[in-house]
Structures are given as C-alpha cells and as structure tokens.
Amino acid sequence: MLGASAVAPALVPTSASALSLMDPFNVASAMDGGVVKLGDGIAYAGGPRSLLDVYSPQNPTGNAPVVMFIYGGAWKMGERWEYEFVGRALASRGFVTVIPDYRLVPEVAYPAFLYDCAAAAAWIEKNIGAYGGDKGKFFLAGHSAGAYNAVMLALDPAYMRDVGAGLRVSGVAGLAGPYDFYPFTFGEVQDAFGSAANPEGTQPVKIVTPEAPPMFLASGINDMIVKPVNTHNLSEKLREAGIAVDERYYESIGHMEIVTSLGAMMRWRAPVLEHMIGFFASLNALA
C-alpha cells in the first residue's frame, strides 16, 4: 500500500479569489463553441455552496448523455465558474454537463462534501430532463479532489442512496485523483479526513467491489501533487474485481495541465478529452 508519498502538499493558492488561475481558460474566444449555458447558480440544496451550473449542446436532442464534473482544490477551495471551459468542452461533445459547488474545509470535513455531490446528483435525477439530458446515461468525472469525490460516489452507492438519488452511474472519469493516501500525513489531508471514524474506509482502493462502474483513470507523468501511483493502484484494484478500466498516463503533463488540457485553448497538450469521451462511448451507453 502507498503511504504518505501519495499526495504532496498542494502547490496552489490556499484560497479562491475573484482573480482565478483559471481565468485565461475561460475567455470566450478560448472556449468551445456550439454550447449554451442553460443554468447558472441553480440551487440543488440549501446554503450558498449548494449551487450548480448546466451546459448543453446548442441543439440538444432531448436524450443527451449527462456528465457531472466535480472540480478539485484539496477539498478546501474551488468555484464552479472557474471550470466553465470544462463545461463547454464536454457539452461541445454532446453531453449535458453539470458542474456543482460543494462545501469545503474548514466549514465541513469528510464525508460532508461527498453528500453534497450526491445531492447534486439527486437534483440531476429529478430535473435534467428539462435541460435535454437523459438520466439513464449518467457519468461522473472529476479532477484531483473532485476525482476522489466522483470515484467515491461510484464505489459506495450509500452516498446517493442516503440523499434519495437512484441514479445508475454508467462510467467514471478520474483525472489526477488521490485514491490511496492513508495514513494522512499532510495538513490539508488531516483537515479533511483526520476525524474520520474509519480512516481506511475513506480510501477508494479499499472499497472496490465487482459492482463498480467502468472507469477512465488518467494522470500526468510529471504530477508532483497527486502522484500517478494513485491512478495505478486503483486501476489494479478495479481489474482484480473484474471492472473495465482505461488507465492513461500523459508525458510532460503535471497536476493542473491534465484538466486545463480539456479546454479548447490547451487541448494540444494532451488528448485527454478525446480519450475520456472515447471511453464513455465504448461503454455503449450513449446510443
């Protein structure tokens, strides 16, 4: 088992601000076209962090596949609007795309942020048809801490069941996710998970079952924040359980580049979007 070296201290600002590192990727001329933003700041539960945005292909068919993208930020920062470039990228490929906010450390700790993401999925189940999406073609995706959240929702149905969601997850895409980081060594991990009653139960590699959905798991070779061995370890556990997994590693790509390469401006860096969408299509869930 991988220990403390799995996750390094985050080399990013410790708080979100009006000036975001993601701003250059969200300039209109740098994002995919043929997309409409159908929802901005829709409440999926009570509280200022329980809001989501919805992006759609410009001419939705009424039964488009749906993907909920969960952003990262070490469970302590992040805003849905920072990832508009991701919402538009996925919508340009035919997905009705939902990007939720969720509560962060220090306001909450594990597992509250997982229940928030599950509540956003419950909103999708009840409402996405009005936005042209088909709840029967539901995918999860995420980056970094968001990849952890997405994978945990897929591996443990209790989170969605407890908030009244009955969605079946057709597939998951995890980008640079931490999946095997116990014992908790670094401060930000301690803050998020240190009070967990069953610490090993917080680890995706410990809760894989044969009922898990297929997964696309990818990392950048140069990721020094969440080390690629996390992707390898979870991929091995999934294969041992008989789960289909597409395991990818990208040369000269670091922790943030793997998500920024989803956007139109930086897509030349790595074919992450192409591989992710190709994997989802291979599951025969998009017809």
How far apart CA 271 and CA 130 sit, in angstroms, is 32
Query: Do the Cβ atoms of 52 and 117 come closer than 8 Å?
Result: no
Query: Strand, helix or coil at 143?
Result: strand
CATH topology of domain 4-282: Rossmann fold (3.40.50)
Which pLDDT score is estimated for 279? 97
pLDDT of residue 2: 36
Q: Which stretches in the chain have pLDDT values below 50?
A: 1-5, 9-18
At 7 the pLDDT is 64
pLDDT at 247: 98
Q: What is the pLDDT of residue 118?
A: 98
Q: Which two tokens stand for residue 76?
A: 């302590």
Q: What is the pLDDT of residue 23?
A: 87
Cα–Cα distance measured from residue 228 to residue 257, given in angstroms and rounded to the nearest whole number: 14
148-188: pLDDT as tens digits = 999 999 999 999 999 999 999 999 999 999 999 999 998 99
Matching residue, tokens 């995918």:
139
Contact 111, 160 (CB under 8 A): no
Domain residue limits, the chain: 4-282
The pLDDT, as a whole number, for residue 24 is: 87
Given this model, what pLDDT does residue 131 score? 95
**Per-residue CA distances from 138 to 65, 160, 225 (Å):** 6, 13, 29
Structure tokens at 215: 């997964």
Q: Which bin fits 57, alpha (ψ -120 to 50), beta or left (φ > 0)? A: beta
Asked whether the CA dihedral 185, 77, 153, 255 is positive or negative, the reply is negative
Residue 10: what pLDDT? 38
* Predicted pLDDT at 8: 59
With beta carbons less than 8 A apart as the criterion, state whether 68 and 139 touch: yes
